[in-house]
Amino acid sequence: MQHYCEIPTPKGTLRGFFHKPACDHHPVCLIFHGFTGQKTGTKFCYVQLSRMLEAKGIASFRFDFLGSGESDGNFVDMTFKDELACARVILEETMKMENCTEIYVLGHSMGGAVASELAKLYPNVIKKLVLWAPAFNLPAALEYLTGQVERSESYDHNGYEISDAFVEDILSRDFYQDLDTYQNDLLIIHGTKDTTVPYQISEKYLKLFHDRTKFISIENGNHNFDHLPDIKYVLKSSLEFLE
């Protein structure tokens, strides 16, 4: 059953949905969207996955981060630090649920980077972690803004207004650091034709995770898995891993 829900944070209210299976006790999967994304997911894939998990006895939360979708705040005020803080609030609220048996986390792109950073903070709480094309290359991807455009309080990034605070926050981070802190079950899925998070960087991050990491490459797949067979395979593989 799908329920609308809200979670207050110090900077505003998060809005999203909780999918509850028929059983009384169940794992809960937290789903984190990427940069400019929202709780439905590309091609509504988070909705699809949540319903697939529900049928297998796994609950899920999918929220809009602050400044995205229907949650409070403006996109320009969003920073990675704030998204990680929101992820912590969602996780800690889930930890309070008496019927929650285990906690899983799934994130796509920047949501994958958020999920990875969360796993470093709660390595024993998160039992399964799924990363779709995790955007560990964010500092390199945004570095052009500091060198090729005039310094400003905000920037036009393909029609999205992002703040200098967001850029500086990203540039100060090393997402590759301490990836081996998380030692529980891990699945990574990455398309070989991804130009947003180049597939080649998987060669770097795979060496830094534990050696039991399961890695799936999507041949000719792009960043958002825009071909129907690709997104179906991503959802199927994620479901099988989580159940």
Tell me the domain boundaries of the chain: 2-242
pLDDT in tens, 22-44: 999 999 999 999 999 999 999 99
Q: What span, in angstroms and rounded, lies between the C-alpha atoms of 23 and 32?
A: 24
Is the pLDDT at 147 greater than 90, yes or no?
no
Q: Give the 3-state secondary structure of residue 138.
A: helix
Terminal Cα-to-Cα distance of the chain (whole angstroms): 18
List residues bridging with 103 in a β-sheet: 28, 126
Q: What span, in angstroms and rounded, lies between the C-alpha atoms of 91 and 100?
A: 11
Which pLDDT band holds residue 57 (cuts at 50, 70, 90)?
A: very high
Is the pLDDT at 148 greater than 80, yes or no?
no
As a whole number of angstroms, the longest Cα–Cα distance in the chain is 56
- What is the assigned CATH class of domain 2-242? alpha beta
Question: What is the structure's pLDDT at 156?
Answer: 82
Tokens 């703040």 sit on residue = 163
pLDDT in tens, 125-139: 999 999 999 999 999
Question: What is the structure's pLDDT at 53?
Answer: 98
Residue 213 exposure: Cα atoms within 13 Å on the Cβ side: 22
Which pLDDT band holds residue 142 (cuts at 50, 70, 90)?
A: confident
Is the pLDDT at 155 greater than 90, yes or no?
no
**Alpha helix segments (H runs only) across 10-79:** 45-55
Note the pTM of the prediction, 2 decimals: 0.95
pLDDT in tens, 183-232: 999 999 999 999 999 999 999 999 999 999 999 999 999 999 999 999 99
Q: Residue 20, class by beta-carbon neighbours within 10 Å (0-12 exposed, 13-18 middle, 19+ buried)? A: middle
Are 222 and 191 spatial neighbours (Cβ–Cβ below 8 Å)?
A: yes
Q: What is the mean pLDDT of residues 162-174?
A: 91
CA distances from 168 to 9, 26, 85, 120, 174 (A): 23, 40, 17, 21, 12
Residue type, 139: P
pLDDT in tens, 89-137: 999 999 999 999 999 999 999 999 999 999 999 999 999 999 999 999 9
Q: What DSSP state is assigned to residue 97?
A: -
Which pLDDT band holds residue 144 (cuts at 50, 70, 90)?
A: low
**Closest to 109 measured CA to CA, from 164, 38, 161:** 38
Question: What is the structure's pLDDT at 151?
Answer: 58
Question: What is the structure's pLDDT at 146?
Answer: 60
